Amino acid sequence: MAARIQLPAEARRGELIEVRLTIQHPMETGFRVDAYGTRVARNAIHSLVCRYNGVEVFRATLGTGIAANPYLRFFTRAVDSGELEVWWLDDDEVEASARATISVV
């Protein structure tokens, strides 16, 4: 699953940083039928966690109410240089994660 995290490369200590995340995922609702008339099974990302240097800063429980290729934008405060990791899990029990680094000056 392709994903992209966008955040400023550099931030001052204590500054608010905006995290923008897009994940390539169909977020199947379970109500759609394919070209052959068979129902496409529900498959949506249901859990998503963002950790900053291992500490959880944001968590979301999503569902089929989220548009395909989910986009999320949230904030956190810059405390230390390091890594932001976003991890997610979908209904097919497929987990994936994306990382981005930030240097705090």
Partner 1 sequence: MSSLLPFATRAFAQANAHVSTTDPLIVSFTKGASVMPGRVRLDLPKLADSGFSVPMTVSVDSPMTAGDHVKTILIVADKNPQRDVCWFYLGSRAGKAEVSSRIRLNGTQRVVAVAQLSDGTFWSDARDIEVREAACTEPG
Interface positions with partner 1 (CB under 8 A): 16-17, 29, 31-33, 39, 52, 55-68, 70-77
C-beta closer to partner 1: residue 9 or 61? 61
Tokens standing for 65? 């109410």
Give burial (CB, 10 Å; 0-12/13-18/19+) of 9. exposed
Count of C-beta atoms within a 10 Å radius of residue 99: 12
Rounded to the nearest whole angstrom, what is the least distance from the CB of residue 18 to partner 1 in the complex?
9
Letter for the amino acid at 98? A
C-beta closer to partner 1: residue 46 or 97? 46
C-beta closer to partner 1: residue 72 or 86? 72
Give the side-chain half-sphere CA count within 13 A for 35: 0
Rounded to the nearest whole angstrom, what is the least distance from the CB of residue 83 to partner 1 in the complex?
15
